[in-house]
Amino acid sequence: MDDRIQSVIIPCFIAKLKEAGIAGVDDYGKKLKQNARIIENLKDFLMEAHAAFMFSHYGFTVTMRESPDLRIVLDNETVYAEVKHFREKEQDRTDQEAMEKSEDLVAVGILPPNELCPWQQIANRAIKYEKQYVENAPNLLVLVSDSNAVGGSVLETGVVRFNQMVATSDANSPLRRLSAVMLVDEVNELWTGQDLVNVYFCPTALGVPMSAKMTEALTVIQKWSWPRDVINIA
């Protein structure tokens, strides 16, 4: 599998990113190859491509970077985006087994007592990566979730918790650079009566403000999945 990843899958990603007009992909390709031997690590890094395709599809000019992961531009306004992956959890696999064995509805996404509640996990991710947030610029944290427990329904609560924690921070804290959090739910989709929604956006209370136009452009992103012509091992 490692040979195929190196010789087929990664070159496919790089070619498709370039076709989409996304810049900075050669260095990104080197990063993928460096992490190809550990499949879970590779999946984490592939989420940067996932987000890059999404923003490009919705009309943003996208550049892949070392840190933070993406620069997205719309009408000369720049936002920096850090992309992180919530991996599938052991509880998700347990839930899947229970659903396969039962003919009745099964509760899913309920984490065991020894694991932090999902909204606290979101807040903690936003805090953990404070060094990635660019000074004097709007910053966006993009969370791609493969877990039933960490879905769009808990994003707003997670951002509220983050706001509470930031409110007690120093006025010059890098945490005050984070403008918003976006969550791409790869597991759960919400039927709205018009379409399925699996992308959620929530501004923070104290971050560097985005323009109303940029906020609207990010808010209207409500649906995304891997492009059909891209090999998806994530």
Q: Quick check: is 230 in a domain? A: no
| pLDDT value, residue 2 | 64
Distance (Å, rounded) from C-alpha 22 to C-alpha 59?
Answer: 11
DSSP 94-137: HHHHHHHH-SS--------TTS--HHHHHHHHHHHTGGGSPTTS
Res 229: pLDDT: 73
225 within some domain: no
CA–CA distance, 138 with 178 (Å, rounded to integer): 7
Low-confidence ranges of the chain (pLDDT < 50): 95, 98-101, 104-109
Q: Please tell me the predicted confidence (pLDDT) of residue 101.
A: 46
Position 226 scores a pLDDT of 85
In a domain, 226, yes or no: no
Domain that holds residue 187: 2-219
Cα distances (Å, whole numbers) of residue 104 to 40, 97, 101, 147, 152: 32, 13, 9, 21, 24
pTM of the model: 0.89
In a domain, 138, yes or no: yes
224: in domain = no
Share of the chain above pLDDT 70, in %: 85
Can you give the pLDDT at residue 91? 54
Number of structural domains in the chain: 1
Q: What is the pLDDT of residue 13?
A: 85
In a domain, 101, yes or no: yes
Strand partners, 126: none
Residue 137 lies in a domain: yes
Domain assignment present for residue 228? The answer is no
Q: What is the pLDDT of residues 108-148, one digit of tens each?
A: 446 555 678 888 999 999 999 999 999 999 999 999 999 88
